[in-house]
Structure formats: structure tokens, C-alpha cells
Structure 1
Amino acid sequence: MLIGYARVSTQDQNPALQTDALKAAGCGRIFIEKASGAQRDRPQLQAALDYLREGDVLVVWKLDRLARSLKQLIETVEELEKRGIGFRSLTENIDTTTPGGRLVFHIFGALAEFERSIIRERTRAGLEAARARGRKGGRPPALTDKDLQKAKALLADAGITVEEVARTLGVAPSTLYRYLPGGRGALPDS
């Protein structure tokens, strides 16, 4: 069975062009969504995915109606493939139920993987160049050595709580415990 999914980005837009194309393609059921493609929570898409059974084909008018990014598109289609469900995009003329359609889609996947590899390489090279210039990545420490000495001095007084010391230093108690894993027990006996 062909199952259609149509999506428009705003409430003002009309999905008629998409639904007409999906009906002409032979879709027996069409799920219509009015939501941005960047939005992860799309109830009608989820309903369509839940409705699909092995041997069915999910049909969209255009690839960008299903997913906003190539990564998201590939993940969705791979999940459909695992369930024995085909995918068809009318505008791009991609149909994963045919050998040619699967080839085109796998080329898309290979290009996406290539792009991810290049981004990883650039990131790694950028971090190495920054380290070579003496820069360290990551978040700065929440407490300096001076703050830690102050915390230990304050905690030596049994009348001051960890929460009070943390508030004084402007950190959460959990942060203080992370720096002093044993809490008061980590302090040397006076």
C-alpha cells in the first residue's frame, strides 16, 4: 500500500499541491502535517511511520517534506528499510523499491558520510592547531586553587554547611563535592 505524507511549514500554507500529487500517485492514505521541518516532534509523521507495515511504501512529494537534513533523511529511510518498507519521492523521482532508486539513495548516503568525515578531520586539525598554539579546549575549571583552599578552610568549621560554602563560591554543592570527593572527610584533621 502507498502511504502519503505531506507537510507545510506554517498554518497559512495549503498542502493541496502535495496531497493532489500524492493522490495521483495512488496513495491510499495521506497524513498531513502543519509544522516546521526543523521540528523533531511531528505527530503526523510519527502516525504515518506507525501506520506503515512491511511491504508498504512511504511517499512524499519532495525530499525536504520528510526531513530537514540529509542525515535525518538517511536515518529515516534506513529505518524504513529495516522494517521492509519502501520510500518514494515524487519530485526527485527516487524510489527505493527499485534497484536504481536504491543506488541513488545509497549515493546520497555515501556523500553524507563523506561530508561527516571531512567535518571530523577539520575539527581534529583545528583542535591540534589550537593546542600547538598553547590553547586548551573545554570549559574552564569551576573552582580555582584559591577557591579550593577557601572551601577547605570554610569546611574545617563544622558549623558551616557544604551548601553555604558552595553558595559563597557561586557553585552548586555537587560541584564542590566533585572537587572534594570525600566532602568534609577529605579535609585533613586539624
Structure 2
Amino acid sequence: MSQHIAIYARVSSKKQDTRSQQADLDQWILAFAKDHPIKWYKDKFTGKTMDRPGWKRLEADMTAGKVSKVVVWRMDRLGRTASGLTALFEDFQRLGVGFESLKDKVDLSTAAGRLLANVLASVSAYENEVRSERVLAGQHAARAAGKTWGGSEKGRRLTVTDEQIATVRRMQTDGESKAAMARATGLSRPTVYSILAAK
């Protein structure tokens, strides 16, 4: 049976696109896989579940023995839970499917690579949990102070920290939505737009 290399790209919502990931993935194909059959699988779906249409098609092809290797832009494009990623790495090993994450430099064919993959999976899950906790804590604090959502008083200048700016830009690189950036940083969407426009 002929096999192909599976290129998987994911963003979290329908308002986003995979272009930022696709440029690096296209370069990888040209450099390392231009003579191999390639098949793209894409999702616009949250990483908190593995039940995604594009991923399900890829999973079926792996089980059928049609996939020799899975390549992603970054490991968290596969998913955001440590348990989900760890189980997935075990599936790759069991099915004899190679795996490469361009940004994480992970190679599951070595013991060190498998260890690194599991560490990165745990870190990704931890960052996601911390981000969620920070958003909830900020909302509770704002409510306790009597603040409401929906923008700031007209003419008032907002103070934006370097950490908030870094978070917004990192999330943009990750393909997150503007609404998600606003929630994660406690900033309004107009402020998020102004930060991105100032790049």
C-alpha cells in the first residue's frame, strides 16, 4: 500500500486561517519531502478535544496504514491536553507512524525525543490551565471592584503592560482569535487591535 506524509494544520476558530502555519510547512515540504506524496488535513476547531473532522480523517488514514509520517507546525496544533497528546504519541509508536513538529524539534524515534515530547505536552497543558485561571481571576477581581465589561470610559488612557503585549503577540503567532487574546490579557478588543497594528 502506498503511503503519504500527512501535514496537519489547526486553528481554534472559523474566523482564523492556517496561513501563518502553512508558510513554514510549505518550506519543510520543499526541503524534505518534495518527492513524497503529501496530503493536507486542516481543522478550525478547539484543541481541547481530539474529536475534530480533519483530525478524524487523518486518524482513519493512520489506522488504515496510509500514513508514513505526521508533520505539524507546532505540537499544540495537535491538541492542548497532556493526556490527549501522550496517548497520541503512543498511537504513533504503535502504528509505526513518524512524527515531526517543526517548532519543537521533536523526533519520536528516539528515547530522548519521546521524553521531550511528553515534557512539552505537559508544559502546553499547564500553560493552557494557567491562562484560563488568569482570565477567571481577572474577571472575579473586576467584578469585586464593581467594574463592568464593555469598554473603558471615553477619553481614559489604558495602561498596557509589556507582559500583555507579549501575550497578545504570542497568541497571534499561535493563530488565536482576537477575542481569545482579549480574554487572556484582560484587555478590550480595540486595545488588542491597536497592539497588533503597532507591530
Structure 2: which amino acid aligns with 1:78? E
Q: Which amino acid aligns with 2:70?
A: L
TM-aligned CA distance change 1:82 to 1:22, over 3 Å: same
**Distance in 2 between residues matched to 1:65 and 1:82, nearest whole Å:** 21
Normalising by structure 1, we get a TM-score of 0.51
Alpha-carbon RMSD across the aligned residues, in angstroms, is 2.4
Aligned equivalent of 1:8, options 2, 6, 11: 11
Q: Which runs of 4+ in 1 moved over 4 A?
A: 110-113
CA contact (8 A) 1:19 1:30 kept: no
Which residue of the partner structure matches residue 113 of structure 2? 104
> Cα 1:44–1:59, aligned 2, differ >3 Å: closer, same or farther?
same
Q: Give me the whole-angstrom Cα distance separating, in 2, the residues matched to 1:71 and 1:40.
A: 11
Q: Which residue of 1 aligns with 2:90?
A: 78
1:49 is matched with which residue: 35, 59, 70? Answer: 59
Higher-RCO chain (CA-CA 8 Å, sequence separation at least 6): 2
Query: How many Å apart are 1:2 and its aligned residue?
Result: 2.0
Structure 2: runs of 5+ lacking an equivalent: 123-199
Deviation (angstroms), 1:44: 0.6
Shift of 1:30: 1.1
**Residues 104 and 42 of structure 1: is their aligned pair in 2 closer, same or farther, counting only changes over 3 Å?**
same
Does the CA-based 8 Å contact 1:22-1:30 persist in structure 2?
Answer: no
Instruction: Report the alpha carbon displacement of residue 19 of structure 1 after superposing the two structures with TM.
Output: 2.0
Shift in Å at residue 86 of structure 1?
A: 1.0
With structure 2 as the length reference, what TM-score do the two structures score?
Answer: 0.49
- 1:159-174 to 2 correspondence within 5 Å? none
Deviation of 1:51 after TM superposition, in Å, equals 1.8
Deviations 1:116-162 (A, max 9, x none): xxxxxxxxxxxxxxxxxxxxxxxxxxxxxxxxxxxxxxxxxxxxxxx
Equivalenced residue count is 110
Letter in 1 for 2:22: T
Name the % identity. 27
Structure 1, unmatched stretches of 5+, are 114-190
* 1:117 equivalent in structure 2: none
- Cα deviation for residue 24 of structure 1 reads 1.9
Provide the rounded CA distance (Å) in 2 between the counterparts of 1:49 and 1:23. 22
Cα offsets for 1:32-52 (capped at 9, x unmatched) = 100011134211101112223
1:69 equivalenced with 2:81 (yes/no):
yes
Contact 2:9/2:18, CA 8 A, preserved across alignment: yes
CA 18–110 in structure 1, closer or farther in 2 if over 3 Å, else same = closer
Deviation at residue 108 of structure 1 after TM alignment: 4.6
